[in-house]
Amino acid sequence: MRRLGYLLLSIAVLAGAVAVWRSMARRATPVTGSHAAHDPQAATHAHAAGNSPEPRIDDAPPPAAAPPGMVWIPGGTFWMGCDDCGMPDARPVHLVRVSGFWMDETPVTNEQFDRFVRETGYVTVAERPLDPAQFPGVPAAKLVPGSAVFVPPASVASLDNPMQWWRYVGGASWRRPEGHDSSIKGRDQHPVVHVAWDDAAAYLKWADKQLPTEAQFEFAARGGLDRQHYAWGDELEPKGRAVANIWQGAFPVANSGHDGYRGTSPVNAFPVNGFKLYDMGGNVWQWCADWYRPEYYATLGAITENPQGPPDSHDPAEPGMPKRVQRGGSYLCADEYCTRYLVGSRGKGAVDSGSSNVGFRGVRLVSR
Ligand SMILES: [Ca+2]
């Protein structure tokens, strides 16, 4: 599954540019919609009867005591997506019903991932040797395992080309997020990064969990709020206070760190949402189980129960590169670029690629 991604790498190497692409072109669409057009709704801890096709949050109690580090997401019916975010793949807003489930209260941390690796000996995709057979003509010395690292440029001509700020860095991995000379010392409680989709799935299998579906993620992220723009409400900075780790300033050259962090932040650094979940917007992107197709929402009916995503992937922007959904946005999402901390917006990533701003969290289903 890495082959396509590394073919791009080989092209970049041959061109003399070690900088690589990876997952970022997908986040190039700025928001053009008006937030002011939105009509905020009250929280929907309603008690609507039966299967009424209206937004509601189930009021049944949790089925058991919470597993360590997890919180109960009660299930319900919600309006998924965003019609006024300026993002065609988030349209149309549609009703979705999800069953209750357990969810990790934070993204998986470096400390947690380290325990998994120590117990299992697991080697992440970014740490594995590259197969020269897949890169004919590329000198073996160039085939160095690594991952995509955000490196702020001094200036940019435009925001159209993510290769201006993404570099393929040899030696970059979850252990060394910025490359050979870096480490995660002091970042135990930061989210693990540089994890490909398979890495996340392997960790969660070990932990007896699984990746959330995109619908589970968005329902949980909304925290019981109905059609708000963010996981915490309808204002980016309620009362002038930063409540998520995003980018402030002129992307990608000037990050003011107004929210306290220029890179990743501890997973509990910002307030919880309505379901007591941390970091459902900002800090790091989080893998979901679903394949990505931009038109998927338009294929669904009036109300869909526990959608699992399309059967396969297709991104017209990068045909032939299998992608899964990512959600939540990251510390690199800014007002003028990405803005995928908007709770109804969608991200996507090549399954064989992590980067310095992509992590994950798990869910556990209730046996019925
Ligand atoms: Ca920040």
pLDDT value of residue 134: 82
Task: Give the H or E element holding residue 50.
Answer: none
Confidence of residue 142 (pLDDT cuts 50, 70, 90): confident
Tell me if 167 is assigned to some domain: no
Expressed in angstroms and rounded, the spacing between residue 310 Cα and the centre of ligand 1 is 33
> From ligand 1's centre to the CA of 337, what distance in Å?
14
Mean pLDDT of the chain: 88
Instruction: Give the pLDDT confidence score for residue 140 in this predicted structure.
Output: 86
Instruction: Give the Å distance between the CA of 51 and the centre of ligand 1.
Output: 41
Would you tell me how many other CB atoms lie within 10 Å of the CB of residue 259? Answer: 22
Residue 126 in any domain: the answer is no
**Which class for 326: exposed (0-12), middle (13-18), buried (19 or more C-beta within 10 A)?**
buried
- The dihedrals phi and psi of 269, each to the nearest 5 degrees, come to -75, -25
The 3-state DSSP class for residue 139 equals coil
Distance 291 CA to ligand 1 centre (A): 29
Query: What CA–CA distances, in Å, run from 80 to 25, 91, 110, 268, 362?
Result: 24, 9, 31, 26, 20
Token pair, residue 147, equals: 């991952």
Q: What is the mean pLDDT of residues 292-310?
A: 96
Q: Calculate how far, in angstroms, residue 130's C-alpha sits from the geometric centre of ligand 1.
A: 33
How do residues 158-186 score in pLDDT, each as one tens digit?
999 999 999 999 999 999 999 999 999 99
Task: Examine the pLDDT at 29 and tell me if it is beyond 60.
Answer: no
pLDDT by residue (tens digit) across 314-359? 999 999 999 999 999 999 999 889 999 999 999 999 999 999 999 9
Count structural domains, the chain.
Answer: 1
The pLDDT, as a whole number, for residue 52 is 55
Q: Is residue 5, in this structure, part of any structural domain at all? A: no
CATH number, residue 357: 3.90.1580.10
Cis? peptide before 212, omega within 30° of 0: no
Q: How confident is the model at residue 16 (pLDDT cuts 50, 70, 90)?
A: very low
Q: Is residue 281 part of a domain?
A: yes
Average pLDDT of span 114-121: 98
Domain extent, residue 59, equals: 44-118+174-365
User: 192 CA to middle of ligand 1, Å?
Assistant: 17
- Span from the CA of 97 to the centroid of ligand 1 (angstroms): 33
Distance from the alpha carbon of residue 261 to the mean position of ligand 1, in angstroms: 4
Cα 127 to averaged position of ligand 1 atoms, centre (Å): 27
> Which pLDDT tens digit goes with each residue over 180-239?
999 999 999 999 999 999 999 999 999 999 999 999 999 999 999 999 999 999 999 999
Asked if residue 42 has pLDDT above 50, the reply is no
**What pTM value is reported for the model?**
0.88
Q: How far is the CA of 155 from the centre of ligand 1 (A)?
A: 19
Task: Output the CA 49–ligand 1 centroid distance in Å.
Answer: 42
Q: Which helix (H) or strand (E) holds 200?
A: helix 197-206
Per the domain annotation, does 60 fall within a domain?
yes
* Helices and strands: H and E segment counts in the chain: 4, 13
193-197-201-202 Cα dihedral, nearest 10 degrees: -70
- Measure CA 10 to chain center: 26
- The tokens describing 217, both together, are 């993620």
Amino acid 49: pLDDT: 39
pLDDT at 51: 52
d(CA 9, CA 72): 42
Position 129 in a domain: no
